[in-house]
Structure 1
């Protein structure tokens, strides 16, 4: 991978909280809106998930977070997430800055889900983007190995590169960074995955994009 050095998890996580708050600051009534990338969720549900994950991770690091009200609206959930997140930032920093990578990836992915639901273009730069990519590439690597496939080079149109799997890559898939990220995070259908720029027939690698919590949607994703 050709990006610069690692971003501490607490820095990346704080950036996600700020990003989500910025998306919703002028939309306090957005709670009932649906999130197409998570079709069973509303905006309120998405925020509830983010606060719940933050609470669980904080508890694992020795904190005792309170739960938000069951009727909390968007502004209340944002405030609760900040309260939990500020303590979590400190504990992640004390733990060395690299112990919340999966949480960061999950939160950043949902920030992108929220932006897509609200019709807001994804940020051009974000502190959580590269560390989240690394988590997803690691997951895809395990899936490629489990499927007995040769490794795959992942390349953004800006020139960033990762290798998923072991050994010399047998093919390269290239896409704009946002589309490549969404492909890795289960937000692109098999047809959308196949439509990316591949140096070889994509068919052998497409099953590997289903792993962990991620499965390509049946319909085109956002």
Structure 2
């Protein structure tokens, strides 16, 4: 059974509904009045444009909306970012009410997916990462648990992840290695946005080579150097 031990941190937020709302509102702000951004490539999501990324987020919201309301699935238009953002806002109220319930894996995954794609959008638009974000503690817990399951699947011992916000231990037991760095770099490494060389460049207590295969897990694939987003 995969586990993630979370140690005291100073992260803000942690409510899934507020975290998800922040992602949606941030995306709307970043894209306000910028029709030309729709075709901008998203480096961390090969073959996706900004419009594709927003379409994905709205499609996820529409699926959850249908599940929690029992309504027929809402068709999601493609390509027109202002219309997509308007639909996302319209669908979000019952979805955010659902997210306000007790924390669960499906709620956590929805927040993690949205937050990770906000970071992708920021990279595509050359916008700095957020200084703090209410989605980060939820998303970090999810990716650490996913990484823990990958470690166990590869028969590898636990790894501790340390950032300015605290320490997480992926898998049960005493960590055999510690990976340290700014939260943004550690998070992107765990979320399939950093190459092997970039992961190695984090501060490690031991050589990380044996653990590198575990950074490909679930929906995340460790990118080749040419695909990995530059630091920033």
So what's the TM-score if we normalise by structure 1?
Answer: 0.93
Match in the other structure for 1:66: 74
Question: Are the counterparts in 2 of residues 145 and 166 from structure 1 also a CA contact under 8 Å?
Answer: no
Deviations 1:38-97 (A, max 9, x none): 111011100110001111122222342522334x5111111111111122112332x335
1:30 aligned counterpart, secondary structure: helix
Which of the residues 73, 79, 93 maps onto 1:86? 93
Which of the residues 179, 189, 193 maps onto 2:185? 179
Equivalence map 1:1-222=2 (5 Å): 1-3=7-9, 7-64=14-71, 65-70=73-78, 72-93=79-100, 95-96=101-102, 98=104, 99-156=106-163, 158-219=164-225, 221-222=228-229
2:39 aligned counterpart, secondary structure: coil
1:153 aligned counterpart, secondary structure: strand
- 1:178 offset after TM fit, Å? 0.4
How many residues get paired?
Answer: 219
Let me know the Cα RMSD of the aligned residues. 1.6
So what's the TM-score if we normalise by structure 2?
Answer: 0.89
- Structure 2 gaps of 5+ residues are 1-6
Question: Are the counterparts in 2 of residues 151 and 165 from structure 1 also a CA contact under 8 Å?
Answer: yes
Q: Which has the higher contact order (CA 8 A, sep 6+)?
A: 2
Runs (4+) off by over 6 Å: none
- Compared with structure 1, are the counterparts of its residues 13 and 63 closer, same or farther at alpha carbon in structure 2 (3 Å cutoff)? farther
2:162 aligned counterpart, secondary structure: strand
Question: Are the counterparts in 1 of residues 15 and 134 from structure 2 also a CA contact under 8 Å?
Answer: no
Question: Are the counterparts in 2 of residues 10 and 97 from structure 1 also a CA contact under 8 Å?
Answer: no
- Structure 1 gaps of 5+ residues are none
1:168 aligned counterpart, secondary structure: coil
- Compared with structure 1, are the counterparts of its residues 190 and 8 closer, same or farther at alpha carbon in structure 2 (3 Å cutoff)? same
